Amino acid sequence: MTWPANPPPNPIRILLVEDDDGDAKAVERTFQKARIANPIVRALDGIEAMAILKGTDKRPKLETPYLLLVDLNMPRMDGIQLVTAIREDPVLHDTIIFMLTTSNRAEDKQAAYSLNVTGYILKEKAGEDFLKLFSLVDTYWRIVEMP
């Protein structure tokens, strides 16, 4: 993605934790359609996401501020396991996390919200509402003052 002529001074970076290439491309297309130029970094599972967040395994550490879009069902470390690890980490525990999933199961929603996710978004319902949501998130990060 390319930045607009006058990018915000402290852009929010987005860590997309998604193992499916088609779903990842759909998220990127949605951001392009909404003209959101925030940098997107992709991890294929929770283990890779933790390496990016902590700057381990020869991965550069993701600069703050950032938010996570996390798929629920992934190999090695799924979304709930990743969110649990983040909430237990003293440095990462306040990370803004949205679950982005195909699961409409009440148990999955409850598990995610019990870990204090910001939102639980069904991929098939995301469409225009997803675009509106992240346009609002983009606006929020452009006007909020960070320490």
pLDDT digits (tens, 9 = 90+) for 73-114: 999 999 999 999 999 999 999 998 999 888 889 999 999 999
Share of the chain above pLDDT 90, in %: 43
20 inside domain: yes
- Average pLDDT value over all residues in the chain: 83
102 inside domain: yes
Residue that has been written with the tokens 């929010």 in this structure = 12
Q: Across-strand partners of 67?
A: 14, 96
3 inside domain: no
Phi, psi dihedral angles at 14 (to 5 degrees): -115, 125
46 inside domain: yes
136 inside domain: no
DSSP state of 90: T
Entry pTM: 0.83
Burial call 97-130: b when 16+ CB within 10 Å, e when fewer: bbbbbebeeeebbebbeebebeebbebeebeeeb
Q: pLDDT band at residue 34, thresholds of 50, 70 and 90?
A: confident
Nearest to 142 by CA among 5, 2, 7: 7
Looking at the structure of the chain, the number of domains it has is: 1
Range of 22's domain?
13-119
38 inside domain: yes
Is the model more confident about 130 or about 45? 45
- Segment 106-124 mean pLDDT: 90
Give the CATH number for residue 21: 3.40.50.2300
Share of the chain above pLDDT 70, in %: 80
- Segment 40-45 mean pLDDT: 94
Angle between helices 21-33 and 123-143 (to 10 degrees): 50
51 inside domain: yes
114 inside domain: yes
Is the model more confident about 37 or about 56? 56
